[in-house]
Amino acid sequence: MKLTSKGRYAVMALVDLARFDTINPVSLRDISLRQGISLDYLEQIFSKLKRNQIVKSTRGNQGGYVLSKKPNEIKLTNILSAVDEKVKTVQCKKESKKGCNGKATKCVTHNLWDELETHINTFFEKKSLQDLLKNKSERVN
């Protein structure tokens, strides 16, 4: 089980954005440089964030992105689901009448994974961008 870079980058970029968008829109180029993320990749990610109304864009010279809500209104759930980083723990489709083994009964671990899914989602629903703004970049060690 792991978290992919796409979700990680999305959160990093948004934290960066939240810190710098107070006056002007922030260009992806700046975020790319500050956070060390490929510009082209960032564009893909922001295209999704925009489709999900997490950011707004201004085109042209001096353009860039701005958060479309306040940091405390943007939950991690929103960010991660926007970039298709879904927490998928059960294997079966929940609506389906079949378990992940193709049989009519749920597999022996179904309930376990379902519980875990809830556990993780709860975490992501509680955390907002605001919470991440507090801890400024700390030294390693």
* Residues of the shown chain interacting with ligand FES in the complex, contacts defined by CB under 6 A: 90-92, 99-100, 106-107, 110, 113
CB of 60 to a copy of itself, least distance (A): 28
CB of 61 to a copy of itself, least distance (A): 28
Q: Which of 29, 51, 70, 98 binds a copy of itself (CB under 8 A)?
A: 98
All residues at 6 or more sequence positions from 112 whose CB lies less than 8 Å from its CB, including other chains: none
Distance CA 55, CA 66 (A): 6
C-beta atoms surrounding 42 within 10 Å: 21
All residues at 6 or more sequence positions from 50 whose CB lies less than 8 Å from its CB, including other chains: 56, 57, 65
Question: Which of 58/111 has CB closer to a copy of itself?
Answer: 111
CB of 67 to a copy of itself, least distance (A): 15
CB of 3 to DNA, least distance (A): 8
Question: Which of 20/121 has CB closer to DNA?
Answer: 20
Binding to a copy of itself, residues 51-70 (CB under 8 A): none
All residues at 6 or more sequence positions from 3 whose CB lies less than 8 Å from its CB, including other chains: 85
Burial class (CB in 10 A: 0-12, 13-18, 19+), 56: middle
Q: Which of 50, 52, 113, 130 binds a copy of itself (CB under 8 A)?
A: 113
In the stretch 22-41, what mask flags binding to a copy of itself with x, by CB under 8 A?
-------------xx-----
C-beta atoms surrounding 43 within 10 Å: 11
